[in-house]
Amino acid sequence: MLKIDNLHATVDDKPILKGISLAINAGEIHAVMGPNGSGKSTLSYVLAGRPGYAVTEGSVTLDGEDLLELDPHERAAKGMFLGFQYPVEIPGVSNVQFLRTALNAQRRARGEAELSAGEFLRVAREQADALDLSMDMMKRGVNVGFSGGEKKRNEMVQMGIIDPRLAILDETDSGLDIDALRVVGQGINRIMRKPDKAVLLITHYERLLEIVEPDFVHVLAGGRIVRSGGPELAHELEREGYGAMAEAAA
Amino acid sequence: MSLLTLPSNREEGWRWSDLSALPQLSEREPTGRVPTDLPWIACEREGPRLLFVDGRLDETRSRLGPVEIGPVDVTASDHPLARLAGRSGWRLRLGLDHAPHGLVQIVHVSTGAADHLAAQIELDVDAQASICETFIGEGWANRLTGIRLFKGSRLMLSRRLLGASGFISQVDHAQVGQGASLVVASLAAGGTDTRLDGHYALDGEAAYAEASSALLARGRQRHDANVVVRHAMPSGVSRQVWRSVADDRAACSVAARVEVARHAQKTDGEQSLKGLLLARSATINAKPELEIFADDVKCAHGATVGELDRNALFYLGSRGVSPDEARALLTRAFVADALDRIGEEEVKAAFYADVETWFAGR
Ligand SMILES: Nc1ncnc2c1ncn2[C@@H]1O[C@H](COP(=O)(O)OP(=O)(O)OP(=O)(O)O)[C@@H](O)[C@H]1O
Ligand SMILES: [Mg+2]
């Protein structure tokens, strides 16, 4: 589904990604772990098309189509979803309004019928319930006054409503208490664990990976993938830290 | 040929104005063409309707109710535009505890030349009215409105400045009596240039005055506002919420002043002037001023000018919202601070629809 080949990218002319290659097939969940500043968020932003992030070498395709040519909203319409490490607050725009606009824009782009206000609210309520967010909160400004954990749960409500094919989740587990972690982990499984979907899960902690079991684990250090393996790699990291691996890569 | 004496930019109150189109508009002949579809707001409770074409009442398409036509008693003042407005026009005088049935709607069509009109609104003790004026066309509509609110009366005055081109100038002179309330809400969302002047005096104790406006400009359009709220008596409350949006090479300028007289203790005055630049080539001028001679007052003012939040734009984009739609959504949220203060849902909905039309006009 997603094929990243020798990806190099700079931020403000500073090289951050230095040759990343990764292939993610439908039905797979890939975890990416790595020390602070290793380029995990940068990778997620480059994949989502954030302005200011320049690809200097390499390619990324989604279902064989050049992803890097597309604007962020076009990537979303193709089925890509980015769960933000730091979800953005938008005062004056309610979550409901934001998501209805988003969902209908995607449906329009795909030639599907838009949802009526009533239909949309039914879907929104279902997803908000599943993640323990009240509809009162959904009527407030996007992420405004939300706690760190509520913002992350809101990302998952959004993912549930949008129902993407490919989710890139950047530290969706950070800032969550133990109960919320379980709710969010189960949410990811419920929404994304399907034969025609795929997930790139960026995390620092093994705990999330006990709920959302990855098929592959990759270690990113210094802008490169320095090791790849199965779920056991996460246990090894939990025991030994990144130190040895990052050094090996340097 | 009329002699038009206009102020120059050297005068402080006119430094951001561009009145250069006015002499030409003054000499043009009106086309008299009135669109068949007029921007009346559909209301559950239909109230009086007045249609002015080039400053003259079209009786066949008007339903006056308590509104009268004729000489009006307003101080023309020495305002260079207001004194052109003359001394005749429409008048709404309501007696003790009276209220018109429904929203009073006035549509002004200006068909290519200059038209001048005065108005007088006088509400006696505990009277109430809600008036919505809508301006369309391509001429110069010049208006002077005198407002006098007696004890406990309430006036909601909303204005939609939607002219396709040309110029709209509006001067308000208001005296707000004891415990009375005046709310003036304006939206400039057409292709016309505008100049808004307001002198709102809180002459009675515990009076309330509010001026909320959203000004949207693109191309080479100019909106220019100059407002003074004067607290003359104690315990008054005033709110000024201005939201300016400028795209392309357009300019929005707002000068807003709060004056608090020496014995106007316990005054609570707030002023919020915010500007949003949709393009680097656009201009926003904001001049908030406080002039306070009393010591026990609560006054807050703030002016900010910024651009759309890039993070929010990317967040919206990542969820599938196109750049144009994302900009519209964020801009709408920006002006909502001003528009959400409109009490009547039907009027508010009309204002929001005008904002949508403005975005669709890109
Ligand atoms: N705008 C920028 N200008 C310069 N350097 C930047 C910019 N944004 C990010 N960087 C740098 O890029 C590197 C990678 O940052 P990134 O946010 O991708 O790390 P990360 O792996 O997500 O870290 P964390 O685990 O802390 O979230 C860091 O060294 C960071 O300082
Ligand atoms: Mg990060």
- Decide if B293 is inside a domain: yes
Count CA within 13 A, CB hemisphere, residue B195: 25
- Decide if B2 is inside a domain: no
User: Over 50: is that where the pLDDT of B107 sits?
Assistant: yes
Q: Do A92 and B333 touch (CB under 8 A)?
A: yes
Cα-flanking dihedrals φ and ψ of residue A183, to 5°?
Answer: -60, -45
Q: Using one digit for the tens of pLDDT, what is the confidence trace for B4-27?
A: 889 988 998 999 999 999 999 999
Q: Do A105 and B322 touch (CB under 8 A)?
A: yes
The total of structural domains in chain B comes to 1
**Residue at token pair 């669109």:** B35
pLDDT on residue B1: 40
Average pLDDT over all residues of chain A: 93
pLDDT on residue A249: 56
**Superfamily of structural domain A2-249:** P-loop containing nucleotide triphosphate hydrolases (3.40.50.300)
Q: Using one digit for the tens of pLDDT, what is the confidence trace for A162-203?
A: 999 999 999 999 889 999 999 999 999 999 999 999 999 999
Q: Is the CB of A42 under 6 A from ligand 1?
A: yes
Residue among B76, B114, B74 at smallest CA distance from B90: B74
User: Over 80: is that where the pLDDT of A24 sits?
Assistant: yes
3-state secondary structure of A24: strand
pLDDT on residue B71: 93
Q: Determine which helix (DSSP H) or strand (DSSP E) holds A157, and give its type and residue range.
A: helix A148-162
- Decide if B124 is inside a domain: yes
Residue among A41, A37, A43 at smallest CA distance from A8: A43
Helix/strand/coil (H, E, C) string of chain B? CCCCCCCCCCCHHHCCCCCCCHHHHHHCCCCCCCCCCCCCCCCCCEEEEEEEECCEECHHHCECCCEEEEECCCCCCCCCCHHHCCCEEEEEEECCCCCCCCEEEEEEEECCCEEEEEEEEEECCCCEEEEEEEEEECCEEEEEEEEEECCCCEEEEEEEECCCCCEEEEEEEEEECCCCEEEEEEEECCCCEEEEEEEEEECCCCCEEEEEEEEEECCCCEEEEEEEEEECCCCCEEEEEEEEEECCCCEEEEEEEEEECCCCCCCEEEEEEEEEECCCCCEEEEEEEEEECCCCCEEEEEEEEEECCHHHHHHHHHCCCCHHHHHHHHHHHHHHHHHCCCCCHHHHHHHHHHHHHHHHCC
* Candidates A71, A88, A99; nearest CB to B311: A88
Q: How far is A248 from chain B, CA to nearest CA, in Å?
A: 35
pLDDT-above-90 percentage for chain A = 86
Taking residue A43's Cβ as centre, other Cβ atoms within 10 Å add up to 27
Q: How far is B201 from chain A, CA to nearest CA, in Å?
A: 31
Taking residue A37's Cβ as centre, other Cβ atoms within 10 Å add up to 12
What is the rounded CA–CA span in Å between residue A124 and residue A120? Answer: 6
The mean pLDDT value for A2-25 works out to 96
Closest residue CA from atom 27 of ligand 1: A36
Residue among A171, A247, A243, A167 at smallest CA distance from A205: A171
| Percent helix, strand and coil across chain A, each to the nearest 5 | 40, 30, 30
Residue among B146, B213, B221 at smallest CA distance from B183: B213
B337 at A interface, C-beta within 8 A: yes
Q: Using one digit for the tens of pLDDT, what is the confidence trace for A66-93?
A: 999 999 999 999 999 999 999 999 999 9
User: Over 90: is that where the pLDDT of A248 sits?
Assistant: no
- Decide if B174 is inside a domain: yes
Domain positions in chain A: 2-249
- Decide if B289 is inside a domain: yes
The pLDDT confidence band at residue B76, using thresholds 50, 70 and 90, is low
User: Over 60: is that where the pLDDT of A14 sits?
Assistant: yes
* A150 burial type by CB count under 10 A (0-12 exposed, 13-18 middle, 19+ buried): buried
- Which pairs with CB-CB distance under 8 Å and at least 24 residues apart come from A6-9? A6/A57, A6/A58, A6/A59, A7/A43, A7/A46, A7/A55, A7/A57, A7/A58, A7/A59, A7/A60, A8/A55, A8/A56, A8/A57, A8/A58, A9/A42, A9/A43, A9/A46, A9/A53, A9/A54, A9/A55, A9/A56
* A88 burial type by CB count under 10 A (0-12 exposed, 13-18 middle, 19+ buried): middle
Taking residue A91's Cβ as centre, other Cβ atoms within 10 Å add up to 17
- Decide if B115 is inside a domain: yes
Q: Using one digit for the tens of pLDDT, what is the confidence trace for A96-132?
A: 999 999 999 999 988 999 999 999 999 999 999 999 9
What is the rounded CA–CA span in Å between residue B247 and residue A140? Answer: 28
What is the rounded CA–CA span in Å between residue A78 and residue A82? Answer: 12
What is the rounded CA–CA span in Å between residue B317 and residue B311? Answer: 10
What is the rounded CA–CA span in Å between residue A124 and residue A127? Answer: 5
What is the rounded CA–CA span in Å between residue A193 and residue A24? Answer: 14
What is the rounded CA–CA span in Å between residue B157 and residue B104? Answer: 10
- The sheet with strand B140-149 has its strands ordered as B67-71, B88-94, B114-123, B140-149, B167-176, B193-202, B222-231, B251-260, B283-292
Bridge partners, A228 (sequence order): A218
- Decide if B3 is inside a domain: no
pLDDT-above-70 percentage for chain B = 99
What angle (nearest 5°) sits at the alpha carbon of residue B174, between those of residues B171 and B180? 145
pLDDT on residue A250: 54
Bridge partners, A3 (sequence order): A23, A61
What is the rounded CA–CA span in Å between residue B254 and residue B8? Answer: 17
A164 at B interface, C-beta within 8 A: no
Residue range of the domain that includes B245: 12-360
Residue of A12, A17, A38 best suited for mutating to test ligand 1, as the one with most atoms within 8 Å of CB: A38
Bridge partners, B231 (sequence order): B202, B260
pLDDT on residue B173: 96
Q: Do B317 and A101 touch (CB under 8 A)?
A: no
Spell out which residues of chain B touch residue A160, defining contact as CB-CB under 8 Å: none
pLDDT on residue B181: 98
**Residue at token pair 């009162």:** A136
User: Over 80: is that where the pLDDT of A244 sits?
Assistant: no
Structure tokens at A15: 């090289």
User: Over 90: is that where the pLDDT of B78 sits?
Assistant: no
Structure tokens at A164: 């993407």
What is the rounded CA–CA span in Å between residue B189 and residue B193? Answer: 10
Q: What is the ipTM of this complex?
A: 0.95
Task: Count interface pairs A-B at CB distance under 8 A.
Answer: 82
The mean pLDDT value for A26-55 works out to 95
Residue among B207, B203, B265 at smallest CA distance from B234: B265
The mean pLDDT value for B205-234 works out to 97
pLDDT on residue A239: 82
Q: Do A76 and B314 touch (CB under 8 A)?
A: no
